[in-house]
Amino acid sequence: MKNYLLLIAGFFLIFFAGSCVPYKNIVYVQDALPENKIDTSAYKIQKNDILYIKLKSGNETIERLFKIQDNGTTNNTNMQSSLYFGGYVVDNQGFIELPVINKIHVEGKTFKEVKELIKKRLLATQFRSLDDLYIKVKLAGVPFTVLGEVKNPGTGMLYKERPNLFDIFAGASDISLVGNRKAVVVLRREQNKWVKQTLDLTDSNIINSPYFYIRPNDIVYVPPLRQKTLGTGTTLQQSISATITALSLITTIILFSKYVK
């Protein structure tokens, strides 16, 4: 029986040790960074983007018309709601509707091009002298959804010019130990259809993927590793503990069966 138990013990040790999450599967960007070849050209506005537009001028009427209402709080949720209800949403035809100048087409344009367009349209109305006019146009945050094996899944908003996947995972308290960092899925709406891209966060070449940089309304999904499917330990300590428990159960069953006979 001793040899029998040793054989079983060896099997379980090999099985559970093999079910541990390897170190190489949890380390991000493992090699030297390659030359950055990502397109750094200006962002072009898309449908469903929410734009933050602010005008400053000696003409107080202009400032009041374009002012986003401030609810007087720095709470992140309230800030998001202020930008959502006070910002300008790009509709399905690529237009936004502004005070005084009505609808303008912004889809496919850069922020600089939209600023020039707004100024031109304002000067064509009753505001013919706006030499001191200052216009700011930018995204009113980058909304996203993160699901799967992260510690805090859910929706969020990034307030950054070029946010990336690591910004999302930092806000979600990182990927769990049983999250598959080598097969992170990004779902993105492009040209009226959904596109799926799988990324390996352990590969340093990730910085040259356009899907590494977050766009508004991206959905990020982290699938589980095989270890979670098996329900085994993710660390060596957990695996050894599971092995000891299994061996104790087997020993008890064998001894009990002999006692019954």
Look up residue 140 and give its amino acid: A
Domain spanning 26-36+142-228: CATH superfamily = Outer membrane lipoprotein wza domain like (3.10.560.10)
pLDDT tier at 91, thresholds 50, 70, 90: very high
DSSP 211: G
Instruction: List, for residues 133-169, the tens digit of each pLDDT value.
Output: 788 899 988 999 999 999 999 999 998 888 999 999 9
User: DSSP per residue over 15-67, as a string?
Assistant: HHHHTSPPGGGT-SS-S---------SPP---TT-EEEEEEE-S-HHHHHHTP
Averaged pLDDT for residues 204-226:
93
Alpha helices per DSSP H over the chain: 2-18, 60-65, 76-86, 111-123, 165-171, 226-230, 236-260
pLDDT value at position 71?
A: 42
CATH of range 50-139; options 3.30.70.141, 3.30.1950.10, 3.30.470.10, 1.10.520.10: 3.30.1950.10
User: Are 92 and 58 within 8 A, CB to CB?
Assistant: no
Tens of pLDDT, residue by residue over 239-250, are 555 555 655 656
Higher-confidence position of 233 and 208: 208
